[in-house]
Amino acid sequence: MGLNCGIVGLPNVGKSTIFKAITSAPAEAANYPFCTIEPNVGIVNVADTRLDQITGFIKPQKTIPTIVEFVDIAGLVKGASKGEGLGNQFLGHIRQVNAIIHVVRCFDDENVVHVHGKIDPVDDITTINYELALADLEVVEKKLVGIPKVLKSQNKDIQRVAKLQQPILERLKDHLEKGERAISLGLSEEDQEVINDLNLITLKPVLYLCNVDEDSVDGGNEYTKLVLAHAESEGSTGVVISGKLESEISLLESPEERAEFLEAAGIEKSGLETLTRIAYDLLGLCTYFTAGEKEVRAWTFHAGSKAPQAAGVIHTDFERGFIKAEIYHCEDLFELGSEQKVKEAGKLRIEGKEYVVKDGDIIHFRFNV
């Protein structure tokens, strides 16, 4: 399982600059709208100090971190859902991601044009959210048009699903017509599961990224206050990052150089680490580890997963043929110093199918297929 985030926003808010900085992947950045024509994809390793610590004790032949995928999508403008600008050809890319990172311009720079001619972060957010809501409305309306025909189906299962979908779709239609995000309708998990095949953009969790100048990284500014207040009002999350500063960090080759730069700038973590951690929390994701002489590896799983489901992240055969799992927590390894001492202390346990995997567990799965 990989974490997949789409980076969206108006043109010239710094999406491509941030993308390049956090992924060190090539993405054209220039001072004109629609610079990004095709979505750029960058896959980066997730920094996890626990993985490094485990490696220090286990001494594997190789270490494999978990990954996060960032997709930089062309800037959207008013009317995008109706074909304005580069139009809705890019909205399909947004539908494929797990979460949305909405980059909002929170800096003044007369040399960087704003597509609306003024800096108004909340208005920018409203513009993007409205276009995404209209794009979802089109999907919902198409689905509703086909419901009467499906209700006449001879297949009882298909008919049953259509009956469940119809009232939910009607509620969504009324909500989206107002330009409201689907997630704010408060659908239950069961309702969301019924319409899961629509892959609605505005049902995805959103992280608002305030792109600021270097002087505003630590305390933010008046623009970031507006964005963070807006994010809180709709139950979303906000973070303050300087795309320019991250670009400078990305040019440094060694971890030592980056650490020195961050310390000098008064920043504890890079933007990538901050984004990844918040995105994990946003999606309810955790990490467990497998550890042996051949490799130490990090795996991403959904919080609350039981042992067989967590095993299925490695391979479906592991889930299908799950027998049991040998488990101890990484903190026990750090405290006691070796797997042998963990065993001697009685910290290694044998767990069955009902065990709920914890963040930081080190697991050896036993299975048979």
At 24-65, the pLDDT tens digits run 644 444 333 334 445 678 888 888 899 999 999 999 999 999
Task: Return the pLDDT at 33.
Answer: 39
- Token readout for 231 is 């994010």
Residue 29 lies inside a defined structural domain of this protein: yes
Task: Return the pLDDT at 86.
Answer: 44
CA 125 to chain CA mean position, Å: 18
Measured in degrees and rounded to the nearest 5, phi and psi for residue 6 equal -100, 130
- pTM comes to 0.83
Its domain, for residue 123, covers: 3-281
Query: What percentage of residues in the chain have a pLDDT greater than 90?
Result: 53
For residues 144 and 218, state if they share a domain. Answer: yes
Task: Return the pLDDT at 35.
Answer: 41
Laid out side by side, the sheet with 40-45 consists of 40-45, 67-72, 3-8, 99-105, 206-211, 237-241
| pLDDT at 257 > cutoff 80 | yes
Residue 316 lies inside a defined structural domain of this protein: yes
Instruction: List the CATH number of the domain containing 324.
Output: 3.10.20.30
Mean pLDDT of 12-28: 73
Query: How far is Cα 252 from Cα 249, in angstroms, rounded to an integer?
Result: 6
Find the angle CA(133)-CA(136)-CA(138) to the nearest 5 degrees: 115
For residues 274 and 170, state if they share a domain. Answer: yes
The torsion defined by the Cα of 272, 282, 192 and 8, in degrees rounded to 10, comes to: -40
For residues 118 and 186, state if they share a domain. Answer: yes
For residues 195 and 314, state if they share a domain. Answer: no
Local confidence band at 110 (pLDDT 50, 70, 90 cut-offs): confident
For residues 153 and 211, state if they share a domain. Answer: yes
Residue 44 lies inside a defined structural domain of this protein: yes
For residues 277 and 310, state if they share a domain. Answer: no
For residues 59 and 11, state if they share a domain. Answer: yes
Query: How far is Cα 250 from Cα 230, in angstroms, rounded to an integer?
Result: 30
What is the per-residue pLDDT across 180-210, written as a single tens digit (0 to 9) for each? Answer: 999 999 999 999 999 998 999 999 999 999 9
Domain count of the fold of the chain: 2
Q: What's the chain's average pLDDT?
A: 86
| pLDDT at 115 > cutoff 60 | yes
* Residue 311 · residue 318 · CB < 8 Å: yes
Tally of CB atoms within 10 A around 96: 11
Residue 152 lies inside a defined structural domain of this protein: yes
Residue 69 lies inside a defined structural domain of this protein: yes
Query: How far is Cα 269 from Cα 307, in angstroms, rounded to an integer?
Result: 32
For residues 76 and 154, state if they share a domain. Answer: yes
For residues 51 and 128, state if they share a domain. Answer: yes
Residue 299 lies inside a defined structural domain of this protein: no
Residue 123 lies inside a defined structural domain of this protein: yes
Task: Return the pLDDT at 52.
Answer: 92
Laid out side by side, the sheet with 285-291 consists of 62-64, 295-302, 285-291, 361-367, 322-329, 349-351
Phi-psi region of 46 (alpha: psi -120 to 50; beta: other; left: phi over 0): beta
* Residue 290 · residue 326 · CB < 8 Å: no
For residues 68 and 175, state if they share a domain. Answer: yes
For residues 40 and 143, state if they share a domain. Answer: yes
Q: Beta strands 206-211 and 3-8: pairing type?
A: unpaired
Residue 297 lies inside a defined structural domain of this protein: no
Mean pLDDT of 309-318: 94
Domain boundary among 235, 250, 281: 281
| pLDDT at 225 > cutoff 50 | yes
**Lowest mean pLDDT across 74-78, 249-253, 260-264, 346-350:** 74-78
CA gyration radius for the chain? 23
Local confidence band at 297 (pLDDT 50, 70, 90 cut-offs): very high
Instruction: List the CATH number of the domain containing 93.
Output: 3.40.50.300
For residues 34 and 168, state if they share a domain. Answer: yes
